[in-house]
Structure 1
Amino acid sequence: MPSFEEITRHHDVDPDDDPWVVGPIKEAAVLVPADPGWPARYAALAEAIGSVLGDAVLEIEHVGSTAVAGLAAKDVIDIDLVVADPRDEDAYVPALTPLGYVLHIREPSWHEHRCLRLEVPRVNLHVFGPDCPEVIRHRMFRDWLRAHPDDRARYEDAKRAAAAGGAGYNQSKEGVIREIYDRLFRAAGML
């Protein structure tokens, strides 16, 4: 289990790394109203992933905005997949390829993160190793937004402003995300 310090620290990708295996892909940030069908879509996707990976799946979770009821989001399901070693791409990428997943991002400097993309339906499959602090952060952020409507609304406002701004969607939301993380970490007694 990662320490509180590891979980609360904002880990950044090495700016000298080129993470793109395929890409970069320019994708407009188009927010849609919350869709009550997103959890069922995730469940079907998780079942398909589990069926091809079997015991290689240590954990799988629906994360990101589509995992928060009532939150407008891009119509993209984000999934965190934990495997024994994300560097061992042969242990999971070939099995996921027939489902349509394509390895797009490899970020060794950021928890050995890999991201596979599925076009239809749109999915970002984030692959991490065991005890990765980022997996814990994703779940804590999701659960906080589910339980705190004021921060959910604040985050949605930031997402709308970022989407309207064009370039730099993720970077434009970062200030609000870090404010929310600070609140949730303090509430959890981690800071």
Structure 2
Amino acid sequence: MSRSRGPRRPDVTTVELVGGAEALELELHEHDERWAGTYLEHRARIRAALPAVGAGIEHIGSTSVPGLAAKPIVDIVVTVDDITAEEDHLDPLLAAGYELRVREPGHRLVRTPARDVHVHLYEHGDPAVDEYLLLRDHLRSDADDRALYENTKRALLSQRWDDTNDYADAKTDVILEIKERARKARGR
């Protein structure tokens, strides 16, 4: 059942990281065409779990960019009408075998027990979703920025990270630089 626009109850106000910080022990893999198939399998699994929600589902992150080396984790963004209506989207995804990892204002993250698929939940129209798609689409079409991003990730992964989130934060400046070029290329 689709809900009216906007939360019907207050959202969470803090970040809940289920399981605490996790060390990053991954390496980059050359692009694997099977990642697209993994996305399609999980898109079908998500649609089956959320038939009445009217969810938007997109493949995002490095595994969604052909030719880009990536950690072998398929990222998916799902948009829903009301992020606070967890009984409509979070509960069915947990019943479908995903595990809750993050609950924070405006965002939920569930993942597979094998940690090879991350599903990010946002409300329809959340600017974060546009930012993911802007980066993905630009990296798909710009070989120079794709190489810059891959080289940055390789350099960062040569270091030891006690928390995956710290690794992600370390990429921020390069991502912002690339997105600025993407906006200029789009005339924004």
TM-score range, shorter chain: 0.7 to 0.9
C-alpha distance in structure 2 between counterparts of 1:185 and 1:57, whole Å: 29
What SS does the aligned partner of 1:165 have?
Answer: coil
Please show how residues 25-64 of structure 1 align to structure 2 within 5 Å: 25-64=22-61
C-alpha distance in structure 1 between counterparts of 2:87 and 2:76, whole Å: 19
1:101 aligns with 2:98: yes
Instruction: State the shift of 1:27 in Å.
Output: 3.1
Instruction: State the shift of 1:58 in Å.
Output: 2.4
Match of 1:132 among 126, 129, 140: 126
Cα-to-partner distance string for 1:147-167 (whole Å, 9 max, x where unaligned): 001100000001101111222
Do the aligned residues in 2 keep the contact of 1:101 with 1:116 (CA within 8 Å)?
yes
| Structure 2, unpaired ranges of 5+ | 1-12
Q: Which amino acid aligns with 2:131?
A: R
Which residue number in structure 2 is paired with residue 4 of structure 1? Answer: none
Instruction: State the shift of 1:28 in Å.
Output: 1.9
Cα-to-partner distance string for 1:122-179 (whole Å, 9 max, x where unaligned): 1110000011111111111101000001100000001101111222311221111111
What SS does the aligned partner of 1:32 have?
Answer: coil
C-alpha distance in structure 2 between counterparts of 1:169 and 1:44, whole Å: 28
RMSD: 1.6
How many residue pairs get aligned? The number is 172
Please show how residues 61-72 of structure 1 align to structure 2 within 5 Å: 61-72=58-69
1:161 aligns with 2:158: no
TM-score (norm 2): 0.86
TM-score (norm 1): 0.84
Do the aligned residues in 2 keep the contact of 1:61 with 1:80 (CA within 8 Å)?
yes
Which residue number in structure 1 is paired with residue 15 of structure 2? Answer: 18
| Structure 1, unpaired ranges of 5+ | 1-15
C-alpha distance in structure 2 between counterparts of 1:57 and 1:122, whole Å: 25
Identity of aligned residues (%): 35
1:143 aligns with 2:137: yes
C-alpha distance in structure 1 between counterparts of 2:51 and 2:20, whole Å: 29
1:178 aligns with 2:172: no
Which residue number in structure 2 is paired with residue 10 of structure 1? Answer: none
